[in-house]
Amino acid sequence: MCGIWALFGSDECLSVQCLSAMKIAHRGPDAFRFENVNGFTNCCFGFHRLAVVDQLYGMQPIRVKKFPYLWLCYNGEIYNFKQLQKQFGFDYQTLVDGEVILHLYNRGGIEQTASMLDGVFAFILLDTANRKVFLARDTYGVRPLFKALTDDGFLGVCSEAKGLINLKHSTSLCSKVEPFLPGHYEVLDLKPSGKVASVELVKFHSCKDEPLHVACDTVEALPSGFDLETVKSNIRILFENAVRKRLMAHRRIGCLLSGGLDSSLVAAVLLKLMKEININYPLQTFAIGMENSPDLLAARKVAAHIGSEHHEVILNTEEGIQAIEEVIFSLETYDITTIRASIGMYLVSKYIRKKTDSVVIFSGEGSDELTQGYIYFHKAPSPEEAAEESERLLKELYLFDVLRADRTTAAHGLELRVPFLDHRFTSYYLSLPAELRIPKNGIEKYLLRLSFEDSNLLPKEILWRPKEAFSDGIASVKKSWFSILQDYIDQQVDDLSLEKAAEKYPFNPPKTKESYYYRQIFEKHYSGRSSWLPHYWMPRWVNATDPSARTLKHYKSATQE
């Protein structure tokens, strides 16, 4: 996890502009560099480093003697950099996984580069010899990237929008700041003036397509066919491979553990693989919740079963409420369910940073979207429509769960790893017949659970535990976290303000006091930027007015069982 920032064609003094780069300092607490581009006095790179791989030579922008005309600023992890080196005979000068981007680009251009990277990434690549700038972002947008491009060719790029919104240009602020689309790369011409012109924006990978880099994966061709035993075996092999490749780190590895299926599977497989490769420290797992909340109790069970060094963070209501504003500032969104779920994740990340030495944090994001884990999937009209919804959710992850997971951990200088969003694992799962992937016998994620049933990785009651939204699971069964938030917010927003909400906020108008309260805070920090969120996250097929799972009829709490 790092923070990247770059400007091309700045009219203003760079020493003033670089103050904006300090807005993302939290992403890289280990070191900072600010570097001008030779021959282009109005172009520069800024980099905040979290040293996870190659602690000696990992500073950026990365430049190597072999390609003196290439400048690379990137945030991410490329898991197949050693396999690519072997396949193409690359001569690396550093141990930095991202160096492979320079070699791939030199060998086959930007299209091949982006398509052959197995990992998560956002990067800015400058080729001064051919006067080109390239931007690219991984398939699911696990690593964030924002850009601002003015009509006259001034370009700003940053890991988070907060590093761009105050840039000065021709006596005015840069107006349009927008997220860079996941699974895309952009080619821009660099003019002698340092300004740029966009040439093309290309989608290089779709979540359903098997990625090109499968050709040099450590797991070779899998058995084909859709008989259940073959499918279950392939799911186990690919998921284990997804976790294994993410063990690449020179810093301590930990794991978030809510006690739900997804984080529990990640933690169990992670610990098993750490033992296999003789990592000589215990795996630290982390859970957050109110006293005796469902998540805390379930996570305790899992930790005892797998044998992790388990940490519990007790959430008190006041602390959660006090964190709302800093969470919204970190997130750069006003989406209701994202904010609710982020408060717990933000506070547990704060604990990890302050009280432990774990830096690389595994988590279960992406599973609900991929394996149809949301409770409303029980109401899908057909398996085909459920499959379409699953793909839609995956495409929008960068606006919701992936955004939450990145910002809440990066705010505290942690690096997130999400094996469920492995390119090969997801493309295989999405290739399965729609009928196989739907909830069965009243249980969501049925196929995923079934695949691990005989593995003894988890206790049966955890493997088959019903879905619990993170923002609800951290609260007590009697009163959910979202209703606690609503009680507090009811006192903060009056009825008249809510009545006039559509006048004040015509785009995505708040419909509840809670959403109004979040929107007010968002506008305080990011005034006029409401288009960053195209729509609120909301369940489908159920006429829901609130995104919480606890408001859906299918929801089962421990008191009802």
Nearest of 227, 213, 263, 236 to residue 424 by alpha carbon: 213
Is the pLDDT reported for residue 385 higher than 60?
yes
Res 370 pLDDT > 50: yes
**How many C-alpha atoms does 68 have within 13 Å on its Cβ side?**
2
At 499, list the tokens.
């009545």
pLDDT tens, residue by residue, 406-432:
999 999 999 999 999 999 999 999 999
Architecture of the domain delimited by 228-495:
3-Layer(aba) Sandwich (3.40)
The pLDDT value given to residue 54: 54
Q: What is the 3-state secondary structure (H, E, C) of 279-292?
A: CCCCCEEEEEECCC
pLDDT over 80 (residue 476): no
Residue 559 predicted with pLDDT over 60: no
Q: Which residues belong to the annotated binding site for L-glutamine?
A: 97
Q: Report pLDDT digits (tens) over 264-291.
A: 999 999 999 999 999 999 999 999 998 8
What is the pLDDT at residue 473?
A: 56
Instruction: Look at the alpha carbons of 465, 553, 384, 242 in this order and tell me if their dihedral is positive or negative.
Output: negative
Residue with tokens 């535990």: 465
Please, is 316 exposed, middle or buried when counting C-beta atoms within 10 Å of its C-beta (0-12, 13-18, 19+)? exposed
**2 catalytic residue (yes or no):** yes
pLDDT over 70 for what percent of the chain? 92
The pLDDT value recorded for residue 557 is 44
Strand stretches in 140-238, DSSP E: 146-149, 155-158, 168-169, 172-173, 177-179, 184-190, 196-203
Q: Which amino acid is at 285?
A: T
- Asked if 393 contacts 430 with a C-beta cutoff of 8 angstroms, the reply is no
Handedness of CA 246, 396, 99, 24 (dihedral sign): negative
Residue 173, pLDDT above cutoff 60: no
pLDDT on residue 292: 82
Note the pLDDT tens digit of each residue in 313-356: 998 888 999 999 999 999 999 999 999 999 999 999 999 999 99
What are the pLDDT digits (tens) for 216-273? 888 878 999 999 999 999 999 999 999 999 999 889 999 999 999 999 999 999 999 9
Helix (H, G, I), strand (E, B) or coil at 395: helix
Model pLDDT for residues 136-156, shown as the tens digit of each residue: 999 999 999 999 999 899 999
The whole-angstrom separation of Cα 337 and Cα 469 is 9
Instruction: Report residue 128 CA to chain centroid gap.
Output: 31
Which segments are annotated as binding site for ATP? 256, 288, 363-364
Handedness of CA 350, 271, 245, 434 (dihedral sign): negative
Spatial separation of the C-alpha atoms in residues 136 and 134, rounded to whole Å: 7
Structure tokens at 386: 């459920």
Q: Does residue 67 register a pLDDT over 80?
A: yes
Across 110-134, average pLDDT = 97
More confident residue, 76 or 544: 76
Would you state the pLDDT for residue 211? Answer: 93
CA 452 → CA 244, 263, 426, distances in Å? 17, 14, 17
What is the three-class DSSP state of 43?
strand
Burial class (CB in 10 A: 0-12, 13-18, 19+), 531: exposed
Fold held by 3-203: Glutamine Phosphoribosylpyrophosphate, subunit 1, domain 1 (3.60.20)
By C-alpha distance, which of 282, 283, 300 is closest to 291?
A: 300
**Per the residue annotation, which of 2, 43, 207, 255 is the catalytic one?**
2
Give the whole-angstrom CA distance, residue 245 versus residue 55: 19
Handedness of CA 89, 92, 98, 101 (dihedral sign): negative
Domain boundaries, the chain: 3-203, 228-495
Predicted confidence at residue 35, as pLDDT, reads 86
- Extract the tokens encoding 502: 């559509």
Residue numbers belonging to the annotated binding site = 97, 256, 288, 363-364
- Classified as helix, coil or strand, 39 is coil
Whether residue 104 is predicted with pLDDT greater than 70 in this model: the reply is yes
**pTM to 2 decimals?**
0.94
Q: What is the mean pLDDT of the chain?
A: 91
**In which band, very low, low, confident or very high, does the pLDDT at 41 lie, cut at 50, 70 and 90?**
confident
